[in-house]
Amino acid sequence: MVNLILKDVLIQKKVILFYIATIIIYLLADVSPILIVFVYSLTFINMAFSYDDKDNANILLNSLPYTRKEIVTSKYVGALIFTSLFIIITYGGNYLLNGQGTSFSWKAILLIIGLVMVAISFMLPIFYKFKRQYLVIVVGALIGIYLVTIKFLVPNLNEILRELTQKFMTLQETQMYFIAILSIVILYIGSWLLSIRIYTRKAF
């Protein structure tokens, strides 16, 4: 399974420098590190799937000595590993460029990983069930709705989201964190099991 995760990294090795360069640009533009890590983590896993869908790569993948369960599991484990790497790159860069080491807290890490896990929990079963282009259409529609909402309905939506993030970072209730973490872990495991079920029944 480790080789499957390395495969996703090696496939994108040519664009990793582009990822790092654009992360630096966003940090210099004072974009929230939380948003940066969230977007780049999802972009990385999305690109990994796009290569798997290309030129019947799934047929070749299933001819290798890996079970379908291992193939699916590598995506879920890989998503957490890639997110951790982007956290290190982004917050390390933020400290070097802006001297903002205080923003690197366990609450920020929990928030980022939690957001990525929730997004992945919905994305991956859709990836396995449908063609990738359908998800692209859905994402495009959601982005359109978001832009319309900011333009006409809630112009200060970004400020509201920022305030909600700050409130989360200042919460002290340990029990609430435990419930949130447990709920996200259950959702992630449920999504993983669903993706295995979908992928094992898929014909290539």
pLDDT greater than 80 at residue 101: no
Residue 125's H or E segment, with its range, is: helix 106-129
Q: Could you tell me which residue, 87 or 177, shows the higher pLDDT?
A: 87
Report whether pLDDT(73) > 60: yes
pLDDT mean across residues, the chain: 79
Answer whether residue 187 shows pLDDT above 90: yes
pLDDT at 38: 87
Q: How far apart are CA 3 and CA 5, in angstroms?
A: 5
pLDDT of amino acid 57:
63
Residue 34 is predicted with a pLDDT of 83
Q: Is the pLDDT of residue 193 over 90?
A: yes
Structure tokens at 81: 């590993």
The structure's pTM equals 0.78
Task: Give the pLDDT score at 26.
Answer: 83
Q: Which of 114, 94, 105 is nearest to 170 (CA)?
A: 105
Q: How many residues does the chain have?
A: 204
Please report the pLDDT score of residue 107 as a whole number. 76
